[in-house]
Amino acid sequence: MIEAVQKKLRAIEADDRINTLQSALRALRELGIDDFGYVLMSMPNPQLPRLSRLLPRMASDEVQRNWTGNCGEALLRQTCAFVRSVAYNFSRLAGRTLEGASILDYGCGYGRIARLMYYFSDPSNVVGLDPWDRSISICREDGLGTNFLQSSYLPTSLPVGNVRFDLIYAFSVFTHLSERATRLSLSVLAKYLKPHGLLVITIRPVEYWRHDVSAKKAGVVDRQIALHAESGFSFLPHERPAVDGDITYGDTSFTTEWLEANFPEFALKGVDRSLEDPFQYYLFLRHAGI
């Protein structure tokens, strides 16, 4: 960490007025987003006892790898690339910054991206949902709070009451859902997005199947590519228990044409990706007509 950042952190540590999570985040927002993320990634840090008491604990490397296949700085670079793209496109499409926005992390896992969203908005404005109870347990145990809630694998509503969000994102969620779970999730998310809000999802391009370990092992790479080309949606289920007769989790790719044909309530306003994680293709969606 460069000296300028270390100097700022020493000042925060010495400031008795910084004694709440909100005041700690406010001070850390004076850093760049990568350094902000690096500080949160390092928690708890014996060199930063004040911040370690106030900020959420970072998930272990084992949890990070089990949830994402990566950990540490390499994973932080991927996360920051996505968050920067979201922040830029939100500003471009909404005509305002993310500061103070209401944000929903759909499929939050252990909260890796939600932590970065604290750069823009206080924890009270950031909600995380995940259908796996273990994910939510980790989020709460690590200090991310009661805004992290368990959702359904086949949702018809979300456990957030009447709240609507300026930003909803689902990173590496629709890259794994069955067609039924995809249809239900997108339909539900549309109901919880504010009229001028932004929905960001990631999908797999067809090229992904040449790299998918499960497809290679099963010898079905060409079949999955053909499904993608013929129907626009390709799903390879994993060996998981069925939910209401449907194996909801596996590996998935679909086309923007499939999305636009099946969800006319959304308008595709932009696309992006990062070379840090080249098979996560970002789609930026708004309510049609906005």
- 171 and 280 together in one domain: yes
- 28 and 136 together in one domain: no
Is residue 39 in a domain? yes
Answer whether 131's CB lies under 8 Å from 153's CB.
yes
Evaluated on CA atoms 37, 101, 158, 284, the torsion sign reads negative
- Residue 88's pLDDT is what? 97
Reply yes or no on whether the pLDDT at 1 is more than 90.
no
- 216 and 273 together in one domain: yes
Distance CA 72, CA 90 (A): 27
- Residue 197's pLDDT is what? 97
CATH code: domain of residue 131: 3.40.50.150
- Residue 290's pLDDT is what? 78
Domain housing 140: 69-287
Domain tally, the chain? 2
pLDDT grade for 63, boundaries at 50, 70 and 90? very high
- Residue 164's pLDDT is what? 98
Nearest C-alpha neighbor of 117 from the set 152, 146, 79, 61: 79
Beta bridge partner(s), residue 273: 281
- 29 and 150 together in one domain: no
- 44 and 75 together in one domain: no
Is residue 64 in a domain? no
- 23 and 99 together in one domain: no
Answer whether 36's CB lies under 8 Å from 76's CB.
no
Nearest C-alpha neighbor of 68 from the set 218, 228, 154, 176: 176
Is residue 89 in a domain? yes
Q: pLDDT, tens digit, for every residue of 21-42?
A: 999 999 999 999 999 999 999 9
Q: Under 8 Å CB-to-CB from 188, ≥6 apart: which residues?
A: 155, 156, 157, 158
Q: pLDDT, tens digit, for every residue of 100-128?
A: 999 999 999 999 999 999 999 999 999 99
| Single pTM value for the model | 0.96
Determine the average pLDDT of the residues in 1-17. 93
Q: pLDDT, tens digit, for every residue of 134-192?
A: 999 999 999 999 999 999 999 999 999 999 999 999 999 999 999 999 999 999 999 99
Is residue 151 in a domain? yes
Distance CA 87, CA 101 (A): 11
When the pLDDT of each residue in the chain is averaged and rounded to a whole number, the result is: 96
Reply yes or no on whether the pLDDT at 289 is more than 90.
no
Is residue 61 in a domain? no
Is residue 104 in a domain? yes
- 93 and 29 together in one domain: no
Q: Token digits for 275? A: 């070379």
Is residue 229 in a domain? yes
- 205 and 119 together in one domain: yes
Q: How many angstroms separate the Cα of 176 from the Cα of each of 76, 181, 275?
A: 21, 10, 20
- 151 and 17 together in one domain: no
- 101 and 32 together in one domain: no
- 201 and 283 together in one domain: yes
3 in the Ramachandran plot: left (φ > 0), alpha (ψ -120 to 50) or beta? Answer: alpha
Distance CA 165, CA 158 (A): 12
Percentage of the chain surpassing pLDDT 70?
Answer: 100
